[in-house]
Amino acid sequence: MINNNPTMQDVLLQFYPEYLGSYTPTANQAKAVHHILNCKTGSYGVNVSMCEECGHVQFHNNSCRDRSCPMCQALSNELWIDAQNEHVLDIDYYHIVFTCPSELNPLIYCNPKELYSLFFHAAAETIMELSKDPAHLGGTPGFISIMHTWSSNLSYHPHIHVLCTGGGLDKDRNWHQKKGGFFLPGKAIARLFKGKFLSGLKALHEAGKLCYEGEAANYRNRHGYQELLDTCYGKNWVTDIRESFAGAETVMNYLGRYTHRIAISNSRILRMDKKSVTFRVKDYKNGGNWKELTLDGIEFVRRFLMHIPPKKFVRIRYYGLLSNQNKRRLIPICRNLIGCREFLRRFKKDEKVQAIRILYKKDVTICPCCGGVMSYKPCARWISPKSSA
């Protein structure tokens, strides 16, 4: 029997037990699966709303709030984007993508906390160091970095998206901005990033902070490890500088596509039968057009779980003018120097009812039957309509 438009929850319900027969998930992966399977089922409590006028009752199952759950990201993403409006500048921004050779993927997968952090540090230090050079900018820009680990077909592909201001402040608080393109050359970024990443990798290896399992087991051997380094040093690393974005609103809308994105959304899962899952992927060899890909159900689950981030790992980080210690103090200075207006938040902080009203044109405080006022009461466990009668 074919299930059209299944959710990730449906896929896990069917194939996760079979997956456990062949693979052993990490504790973090198992926890994420547990959350997704129980999301919006009543397991995490229920909000009960009752109309004070006509007595109409509605039940709203709580979500799991897991950052890997396809059903929990939409509102969080919108609230995050709205919060960034306070610190956006009405100038050009540039999108840079940092990647590393695929030969490093098995080692990175074995050591996610250590090597994802190294990825962040190497990318940030590269931008900061080159930006301070008067030959390029002579100042400090502001940028946001977001870690992704997947490609469109769910294969393992760790990379970092960076959204960087088109200018920056020098130590004397003068604004510098290059006209006609990004102020850093792509080849210089790639060379410096390669050097910093591999230098950090060697330091971790020599300090005995890396493990070598699965496909990375060969790197335990001194010769295998040296061969990996030689291969990576010999390659030209690619750093992709993508199109620029003019104007604050365009920047925020674009950034929203990357921040809270997970490996796959429910909308991309097309069909599921007893053995396989079919979903949409981008065919980059054919101009980025969408096509269908069918995977064995267990393989689909395996690929999905590869992208569960480590516990407490921070996937979105801020640097330069946008770092937490700088943005409230320096962004107003930049705004005055550039002469751009301040952008205000649409929603009050953590005001989800207001956000739902504005974003989805739905007022959850108004009764759908009579227009009266709905009062909300959180419940710790599921209460069925029958038992509440």
Better-predicted residue by pLDDT, 238 or 158? 158
pLDDT in tens, 93-131: 899 999 999 999 999 999 999 999 999 999 999 999 999
**Strand, coil or helix: 127:** helix
* Residue 335 to residues 56, 83, 90, 248, Cα–Cα distance (Å): 50, 17, 8, 12
Is the CB of residue 242 less than 8 Å from the CB of residue 97? yes
**In angstroms, rounded to a whole number, what is the distance separating the alpha carbons of residues 171 and 169?**
7
Q: How many CB atoms lie within 10 A of CB 104?
A: 22
- CA dihedral for 188, 192, 193, 194, sign (positive or negative): positive
Question: How much is the average pLDDT of 167-177?
Answer: 94
* pLDDT for residue 384: 44
Question: How much is the average pLDDT of 228-243?
Answer: 92
**Strand, coil or helix: 340:** coil
**In angstroms, rounded to a whole number, what is the distance separating the alpha carbons of residues 37 and 119?**
31
Which of 133-147, 221-235, 363-377 bottoms out in mean pLDDT, i.e. has the lowest?
363-377
Mean pLDDT of the residues in the chain: 89
Is the CB of residue 84 less than 8 Å from the CB of residue 252? yes
Question: How much is the average pLDDT of 164-181?
Answer: 91
* pLDDT for residue 154: 96
Residue with tokens 């990996």: 228
* pLDDT for residue 288: 80
Judged against a pLDDT cut of 80, whether residue 352 lies above it is answered with: no
* Residue 82 to residues 78, 87, 254, 331, 365, Cα–Cα distance (Å): 6, 10, 13, 16, 22
**In angstroms, rounded to a whole number, what is the distance separating the alpha carbons of residues 222 and 206?**
11
* Residue 360 to residues 201, 357, 369, Cα–Cα distance (Å): 46, 6, 19
* pLDDT for residue 272: 97
Strand partners, 295: 277
Structure tokens at 234: 């010999």
Domain boundaries in the chain? 74-263+306-338
* pLDDT for residue 383: 46
Residue 138 CB partners (closer than 8 Å, separation 6+): 132, 170, 176
Judged against a pLDDT cut of 90, whether residue 80 lies above it is answered with: no
pLDDT in tens, 41-74: 988 888 888 888 888 888 888 889 899 998 887 7
* pLDDT for residue 128: 97
* Residue 385: band (very low, low, confident or very high) from pLDDT cuts 50, 70, 90: very low
| DSSP states along 25-83 | --HHHHHHHHHHHHTTTTTT-EEEEEETTT--EEEEEPP---TT-TTSSHHHHHHHHHH
* pLDDT for residue 147: 94
